[in-house]
Structure 1
Amino acid sequence: MNITVLAVGKLKEKYWRDAIDEYSKRLGRFCRLNITEIRESPLRANPSAADEEAVKAAEGRDILEKIRPSDYVVSLEINGKSFSSEKLAEHMEKLTISGKSSVLFVIGGSLGLSREVSARADLKLSFSAMTFPHQMMRVILLEQIYRAFKIMKNEAYHK
């Protein structure tokens, strides 16, 4: 399976990069992982709602340019569907069985995702009703993908 994480913004802190490197290494035995960073659009101080929408639209266009028609797109959204780790593993296994070999996870910037990106998603996934920094979500997402593969392979780790 090919897994792509498409994320807005760069990881600046070393501890986030170290965590990403660790899970990327672990995932290497289960899938081909690609992490692509999308440029974060600048936002002026005290932005209006229109300014925020313009930023989300610009980031959304950059995201959509990276998505291929054959990609199964999972957008991370607060109002998305909640899965347990077991349900995520089951869903990923069903994708594999149905021939979906390319799964692309989208993590928006600090303002979230544009309506267009959300509309393109095959699955809108929520990790929590709480808001997390998008840098942290990369680590949480990779950990959950790793956990899903361990569950699918019936390997120790999950509990």
Structure 2
Amino acid sequence: MKIAIAAVGRMKAGPERELVARYLDRAIAGGRTLGLTGFEVIELTESRSGSAASRKTDEAKALSAAIPDGIIVALDERGKSIGSEAFANLVGRWRDDGRPAASFVIGGADGLHPDFVAKADLTLSFSPMVWPHQLVRIMLAEQLYRTTTILSGHPYHRGD
């Protein structure tokens, strides 16, 4: 199953981008034997529309066109919070069900369009707080790497 992170906004070169790359490189290496591939980042330019509503509409169209067919996970502070093992088991179940891809979608400064969130298979929250997209990407990349370690029985994950 192909894993993709689709994000509105581009990360500049620097420690945040390097940290995302480090975790995704680890996920790529760990995912090979698990049937998890890709771990690519799709970056989309923020809309220049005049209102937040029209920006979210433009960005939702661009996101829908950019992500592969399969599971859509919208990251939103109003979403469901789950633990790392439950997250890993969910990804493993999607893989085992033969889903071709899972796309994890991070909105722009205005967030994701409500219709896009409504059509997502899962709306996931890392916290009820709002986080900058750079930090969300880092946290997501780490959790995807952690997923590969949990599914493979690697000792990296030492949670309950």
The question of a shared fold, defined as TM-score above 0.5 by the shorter chain, is answered with yes
Root mean square deviation of aligned Cα? 1.4
Asked if structure 1 preserves the Cα contact closer than 8 Å seen for 2:24 and 2:144, the reply is no
Partner Cα separation in structure 2 for residue 106 and residue 62 of structure 1: 11
Residues 138-157 of structure 1 correspond to what in structure 2 (within 5 A)?
138-157=137-156
Q: Does 1:83 align with 2:87?
A: no
Where does the alignment leave 5 or more consecutive residues of structure 2 unmatched?
32-36
- State yes or no: 1:9 paired with 2:15: no
Decide whether the 8 Å contact of 1:63 with 1:117 is kept in 2.
Answer: no
- The one-letter amino acid of 2:147's match is A
5 Å matches for 1:26-41? 26-29=26-29, 30=31, 31-41=37-47
The count of aligned residue pairs is 152
Return the offset for 1:116. Answer: 2.4
Equivalent pair of 1:74/1:105 in contact (CA under 8 Å)? yes
Per-residue CA deviation, residues 49-81 of structure 1 (Å, 9 max, x unaligned), is: xx111111111111111234x311001011111
Residue 97 of structure 1 aligns with an amino acid whose one-letter code is D
| CA distance in 2 between partners of 1:158 and 1:101 (Å) | 26
TM-score, normalised relative to structure 1: 0.90
Is contact 1:76-1:108 (8 Å) kept?
Answer: yes
Could you tell me whether the CA contact under 8 Å between 2:6 and 2:67 is conserved in 1? no
Structure 1, unaligned runs of 5 or more: 45-50
Q: Deviations over 1:12-48 (max 9, x none)?
A: 251111111111210112132111001112366xxxx
Task: Give the match for residue 48 of structure 1.
Answer: none
State yes or no: 1:136 paired with 2:138. Answer: no
Alpha-carbon displacement from aligned partner over 1:91-148 (angstroms, at most 9, x marks no partner): 1111111111311110001111012211221111111101100111011001001111
Which residue in the other structure is 1:119 paired with? 118
Q: Distance in 1 between matches of 2:130 and 2:17?
A: 20
